[in-house]
Amino acid sequence: MLNVHDLEIRHKKYKLKLLIPYFVISAVLMVMLVSMIFFLSYNFEYKIALENEKQLQNQPTVMQEVVKPIAKNENITVVKDENLTSLEEVQLQPAATKENIQTSPMQTEEKIEEQEKVILSPSLNFINNIKSQAAKKENSVIHEEIKKPAPQMRKKEDTSAFKIEEVKQTAVQPQKNQEEIIPLKVEEVLTTTPKIENKNSIKIERKNDDDIRDVLNRFNINHNPALSLFVAKKYYQMDEYEQAYNYALITNGINNNIEESWIIFSKSLVKMNKKDEAVEMLKKYIAHSHSSQAKQLLEEIQTGKFK
Amino acid sequence: MKPSVYKNSRDVFLDVVNVNDYIQLERISNIYQSFKDSIEKPFKMILLYGKPGTGKSMFLSKLYHSLQYSQKICLYKTPILDESEFFKTLAQDLYNLKYNNELNFTQFMKVVENRELGTAIPLILLDEAQLYSIAMMEKIRLLSDTRKVKFIIALHKTEKEDIVAKEHFKSRIWESIQLENAPASELRIYIQKKLMRANCIDTADMFTKKSINLIHKLTDGNYRNTNKLLYTLFDIYMYYKDSNPSKIKGSEISTKIIEMSAIHTGLINA
């Protein structure tokens, strides 16, 4: 007797049996796929881990590399770290500044105090660059000396133990810290001969009006005498002596110990045909500061060399 | 469709050897004609062999029915295994000699040799000859050597076939015919002709190429297996017609029901 119900059940089982190979193949493929993905991701993670490990291994040398250029320009950062071994100091310090390593702890403390006192000041690299451009035009060499207002630093000048002659590298590492610290440097003699300029500076062509406007904006914000001095010098170069006089006066009003400001102030007076006033002002300043540059200018005015 | 259609279709595929159910197929017809032509020749033995269900029995039946009125012919569908009984039966059927006592091979040989040849040599058709012993087969060979009786033996491809194929035996076989399973195209004609002969035209139309191919795949073109499968198939159709007609809505033979039939008949091991 035909049992159709039983046949239906057996047929279902038969169909399932037929599908088993497909299930098995699919399962095997899935397992292979998953294992491949796992293997690939594992490899990827392993590579990343290796790279990280390499990076970690390389990290100390990288740190040294980062520190080195700062140490070259900033004597203080090296001297500050008293915990460094002498060997490390030698490695970090350029040969020219080895003398600084030997400076006494007292001197370094003084330097730090000076730094803390100063707030923000414009980068003199910028000024020097413009100066060098101007100097290029005139085919002349300008020697400028910027003396630190701090008395402690002047002592060092007298002893000549902390003199550094630097050729300014205007484009190299324009870090904020550098901008703050550079004005504190004791003495800078800028030789703007074309040869050096080509090597160490990047020429940036800018309009004078834009420069002055930009610097004035900055000056209005922070009333930094270096900025007003820059404007005064700029106006002097542009033969606008009244404006040069005004900004030199403003600079002196903020800080009356800036030699260059007094020089520009006096020169502007001479140019404005106020030679007597200029001589009088220079004499007062020389009496106060004993500035050799001011003395030289006074002599030139009096002898008529400077008109 | 009426339930009776399925019943009639089912009964068409009852596995019985009935000459009236013989389906004239081109390939089989050609074989049959060459077989008949061989009979005319002065042969000693004809070997008809093939796998079970390839139509050997039907072939012998057809031959018997076509020649029974024209010449002396005897068909033994089942083998007579007892030797005495075998010779007594032959004596009775061929020569109308009745033996109450034992009749051995020597005695029967004398009877055969003493007989005068008539217009036609008597023809003896032995089906399922693979069941005869080797000794009995040797005796049949010796009888055929007298040329006073002809034997057509049908057997499966078994061990016996190797015996028949032996050199001394082979030389006595003048004709050897092999019957094979039907190809798919022939199977389709076979099924449809069978159904149409029984006026089951609707069910005959339900067999598409796809369903025939599946049936051929399952039965390997074996007529007996095909008959069994289709008998079960229409049996299931009858069941669904009564209990769940929605399952046999399609105009084609359901693949599922073909597979169920194959499971029932053992063609699919589920």
Q: How confident is the model at residue B163 (pLDDT cuts 50, 70, 90)?
A: low
* Boundary-marking domain end, from A24, A54, A73: A73
Average pLDDT over residues B42-64: 86
Please compute Rg for chain A using Cα positions.
36
Residue B137 within a domain: yes
* B240 contacts in chain A (CB < 8 Å): 4
Look at residue B101 in the predicted model and tell me its pLDDT. Answer: 87
Q: Which of A227, A197, A225 is nearest to A213 (CA)?
A: A227
Contact B214/A at CB under 8 A: no
A5 part of contact set with chain B, CB < 8 Å: no
B268/A contact by beta carbon, under 8 A: yes
Query: What is the mean pLDDT of the segment spanning A60-79?
Result: 44
Same domain, B159 and B217: no
Q: Which domain holds residue A288?
A: 206-307
pLDDT band at B70 (very low <50, low <70, confident <90, very high): confident
- Provide the pLDDT for residue A220: 87
Q: Residue A144: pLDDT band by 50, 70, 90 thresholds?
A: very low
pLDDT tens track for A178-205: 444 444 444 444 444 444 444 455 555 5
CA-wise closest residue to A292 among A90, A157, A121, A175: A157
pLDDT at B19 > cutoff 70: yes
Residues 6+ apart with CB under 8 A from A219: A227, A228, A231
Return d(Cα A193, Cα A139) in angstroms, integer. Answer: 8
| B17–chain A nearest CA distance, Å | 23
Last-in-domain residue among B131, B150, B179: B179
Q: Do A10 and B240 touch (CB under 8 A)?
A: no
| B260 and chain A in contact, CB less than 8 A | yes
Select from A15, A38, A73 the last residue of a domain: A73
The answer to whether position B21 is within a domain reads: no
Residue A160 has pLDDT above 70, yes or no: no
* pLDDT at B218 exceeding the cut of 90: yes
Q: How many CB pairs under 8 A join A and B?
A: 29
Q: Per the structure, how many domains does chain B have?
A: 2
Q: Within this chain, do residues B156 and B191 fall inside the same structural domain, yes or no?
A: no
Q: How far apart are CA A229 and CA B163, in angstroms?
A: 131
pLDDT band at residue B226 using 50, 70 and 90 as cut-offs: very high
pLDDT (average), residues A120-131: 60
Average pLDDT over residues B221-236: 94
Which of A28, A50, A73 terminates a domain? The answer is A73
Of the candidates B211, B224, B152, B214, the one whose C-alpha atom is nearest the C-alpha of residue B181 is B224
Q: What is the mean pLDDT of residues A108-136?
A: 57
The predicted-structure confidence for A29-59, as pLDDT tens digits, reads as follows: 999 999 999 999 888 888 888 888 888 877 6
Judge whether B202 lies within some domain.
Answer: yes
pLDDT tens digits, B181-199: 999 999 999 999 999 988 9
Average pLDDT value for residue range B105-132: 86
Q: What is the pLDDT of residue A90?
A: 41
In-domain check, residue A292: yes
B107 and B56 fall within a common domain: yes
Domain boundary pick from B143, B159, B179: B179
Q: What CATH number is attached to the domain comprising A235? A: 1.25.40.10
Reduce the DSSP state of residue B177 to 3 states and report it.
strand
Residues B239, A11: C-beta atoms closer than 8 Å: no
Give the model's pLDDT for residue A25: 94
Mean pLDDT of A278-306: 87
**Average pLDDT across chain B, whole number:** 87
Q: What is the pLDDT of residues A201-243, one digit of tens each?
A: 555 555 567 778 888 888 888 888 889 999 999 899 888 899 9
User: Are the beta carbons of A4 and B259 separated by less than 8 Å?
Assistant: no
B256, B265, B269: best to mutate for the A interface, most A CBs within 10 A? B256
SS3 (DSSP) at B24: coil
In terms of pLDDT, which residue wins out, A134 or A287? A287
Q: Does one domain contain both B80 and B206?
A: no
Helix H, strand E, coil C: the string for chain A is: CCCHHHHHHHHHHHHHHHHHHHHHHHHHHHHHHHHHHHHHHHHHHHHHHHHHHHHHHHHHHHHHHHHHHHHHHCHHHHHHCCCCCHHHHHHHCCHHHHHHHCCCHHHHHHHHHHHHHCCCCCCHHHHHHHHHHHHHHHCCCCCCCCCCCCHHHHHHHHHCCCCCCCCCCCCCCCCHHHHHHHHHCCCCCCCCCHHHHHHHCCCCCCCHHHHHHHHHHHHHHHCCHHHHHHHHHHHHHCCCHHHHHHHHHHHHHHCCCCHHHHHHHHHHHHHCCCHHHHHHHHHHHHHHHCCHHHHHHHHHHHHCCCC
pLDDT number for residue A203: 52
Question: Complex ipTM above 0.90?
Answer: no
Residue A62: inside a domain: yes
Mean pLDDT of chain A: 68
Q: Which residue of A has its CA nearest to B255?
A: A11
Residues of A in contact with B229 (CB under 8 A): none
How many angstroms separate the CA of residue B8 from the nearest CA in chain A? Answer: 17
Q: Within a domain: residue A90? A: no
| Percent of residues, chain B, with pLDDT higher than 90 | 42
Least confident of A7-16, A269-278, B72-81, B162-171: B162-171
Min Cα distance A18 → chain B (Å) is: 10
For residues B172 and B105, membership in a common domain is answered with: yes
Judgement on whether residues B71 and B192 belong to the same structural domain of the protein: no
CB of A8 within 8 Å of a chain B CB? The answer is yes
Q: Which domain holds residue B222?
A: 3-16+182-265
How far is B244 from chain A, CA to nearest CA, in Å? 11
The segment with the largest mean pLDDT, out of A8-12, A129-133, A279-283, B29-33, is: A8-12
CATH number for the domain that contains residue B110 = 3.40.50.300
- Look at the block and give the residue holding tokens 């370094």: A108
Smallest Cβ–Cβ distance between B236 and the set A2, A10, A17 belongs to: A2
What's the number of domains chain A is made of?
2
Looking at the domain assignment, is residue A94 inside a domain? no
pLDDT tens-digit map of B249-265 = 888 999 999 999 999 99
Sequence-distant (≥ 6) Cβ neighbours of residue A271 within 8 angstroms? A236, A239, A241, A244
Sheet with B73-76, strands from edge to edge, namely B73-76, B123-126, B150-155, B45-50, B173-179
Let me know if A184 is exposed, middle or buried by CB neighbors in 10 A (0-12, 13-18, 19+). Answer: middle
pLDDT at res. A85: 43
Q: Which two tokens stand for residue B132?
A: 């005869």
Task: Tell whether A7 is within 8 A of chain B (Cβ).
Answer: yes
Among the residue ranges A86-95, A261-270, A280-289, B160-169, the one predicted with the least confidence is A86-95
Reported as a single tens digit per residue, the pLDDT across B109-118 is: 998 888 876 6
- Least confident residue range of A89-98, A234-243, B137-146, B245-254: A89-98
* pLDDT at res. A131: 59
Residue B263 touches partner A, C-beta closer than 8 Å: yes
Please report the pLDDT score of residue B229 as a whole number: 96
For residues B42 and B173, membership in a common domain is answered with yes
- The reply to whether the predicted model has a pTM over 0.90 is no
Query: Considering CB atoms only, which of B240, B243, B263 is closest to A10?
Result: B263
Q: Which residues of chain A lie closer than 8 angstroms to B243, CB-CB?
A: 4
Contact of B82 with B90, CB cutoff 8 Å: no
Residue that finishes a domain, picked among B142, B158, B179: B179
Of A2, A4, A10, the CB nearest to B270: A10
Name the pairing type of β-strands B123-126 and B173-179.
unpaired
Give the model's pLDDT for residue B85. 93
